């Protein structure tokens, strides 16, 4: 996967000078935001985005159409409250007469790395400061889902003595590289001839095993014209 990222960045560096010589309009994109996991459920229910962002380069081939390549990385931290909600410790205390039932989940971080080629289409004839656009693309996604350890400790009182028992349950993680597609909408806010701010919402779905990996990036950033 690292080799793919290096090849992608080299391609951007090669294409940009060539396009500039042909008189095409170029842009470099920097952005960040928040990503909402959608599937699988162990990803959607138990992880919150920690940090991440997008780096890209675009080439305008017409007044309304831009070809755009991007490289994104997002890291997710374990949502301990989300894991705890899936275990009804109060029910265990009431039914099994435990004095106390506690859960202390832990897990390594999860992450998404995605390299994509996209097309961005803006309505022609718009000359205002703010202009909407549609975007769609395909690429390769590397998804790493951290394994979750969920030890449940139950304390039982027998003849005045407290006996603690721990059952450690695992929620399996894993790593997978797969093709993916994405689509979304956005707004360009033209700040100057060489600088444009953007706000964008997309849906991305990877064709991984089982239900597939999906997430919704809500991003904002700056496009620099070259």
Position 18 pLDDT exceeds 80? no
How far is residue 44's CA from residue 68's CA, in Å, rounded to a whole number? 28
pLDDT band for position 20 (cuts 50, 70, 90):
very low
Q: Is residue 125 part of a domain?
A: yes
pLDDT for 128 equals: 76
pLDDT band for position 84 (cuts 50, 70, 90):
confident
Position 204 pLDDT exceeds 60? yes
Q: CATH no. for residue 21?
A: 2.40.160.20
Position 172 pLDDT exceeds 70? yes
Domain range holding 70? 2-78+109-145+174-225
Residues 6 or more apart from 172 whose CB is under 8 A from it? 147
pLDDT for 103 equals: 77
Task: Quote the pTM value.
Answer: 0.80
pLDDT digit string, tens, across residues 91-148: 555 655 666 667 788 899 999 999 999 999 998 766 678 999 999 999 999 999 999 9
Q: Is residue 219 part of a domain?
A: yes
How far is residue 128's CA from residue 125's CA, in Å, rounded to a whole number? 9
pLDDT band for position 6 (cuts 50, 70, 90):
very low
CB-CB neighbours of 83 under 10 Å: 22
pLDDT for 144 equals: 94
Q: Is residue 95 part of a domain?
A: no
Q: Is residue 103 part of a domain?
A: no
pLDDT for 112 equals: 97
Q: Which two tokens stand for residue 1?
A: 């996967």
Q: Is residue 185 part of a domain?
A: yes
Number of domains in the chain: 1
pLDDT for 96 equals: 57
pLDDT band for position 74 (cuts 50, 70, 90):
very high
Q: Is residue 195 part of a domain?
A: yes
Position 205 pLDDT exceeds 70? yes
Q: Is residue 194 part of a domain?
A: yes
Q: How many residues does the chain have?
A: 226
pLDDT band for position 181 (cuts 50, 70, 90):
very high
pLDDT band for position 21 (cuts 50, 70, 90):
very low
CA-angle at 148, arms to 142 and 150, nearest 5°: 170
Q: Is residue 123 part of a domain?
A: yes
pLDDT band for position 153 (cuts 50, 70, 90):
confident
Confirm if 148 and 106 have CB atoms less than 8 A apart.
Answer: yes
């Amino acid at each position: 996967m690292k080799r793919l990222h290096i090849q992608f960045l080299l391609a951007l560096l090669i294409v940009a000078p060539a396009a500039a010589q042909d008189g095409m309009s170029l842009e470099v994109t920097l952005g960040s935001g928040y990503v909402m996991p959608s599937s699988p459920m162990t990803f959607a229910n138990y992880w919150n985005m920690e940090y991440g962002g997008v780096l890209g380069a675009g080439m305008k081939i017409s007044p309304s159409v831009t070809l755009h390549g991007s490289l994104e990385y997002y890291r997710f931290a374990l949502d301990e409250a989300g894991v705890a909600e899936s275990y009804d410790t109060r029910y265990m205390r009431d039914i099994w007469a435990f004095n106390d039932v506690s859960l202390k989940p832990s897990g390594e971080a999860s992450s998404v790395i995605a390299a994509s080629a996209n097309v961005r289409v803006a309505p022609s004839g718009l000359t205002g400061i703010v202009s909407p656009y549609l975007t769609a693309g395909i690429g390769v996604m590397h998804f790493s889902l951290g394994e979750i350890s969920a030890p449940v400790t139950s304390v039982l009182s027998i003849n005045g003595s407290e006996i603690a028992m721990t059952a450690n349950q695992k929620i399996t993680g894993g790593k997978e590289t797969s093709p993916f597609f994405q689509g979304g909408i956005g707004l360009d806010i033209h700040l100057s001839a060489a600088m444009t701010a953007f706000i964008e919402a997309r849906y991305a779905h990877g064709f991984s095993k089982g239900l597939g990996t999906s997430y919704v990036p809500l991003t904002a950033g700056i496009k620099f014209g070259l």
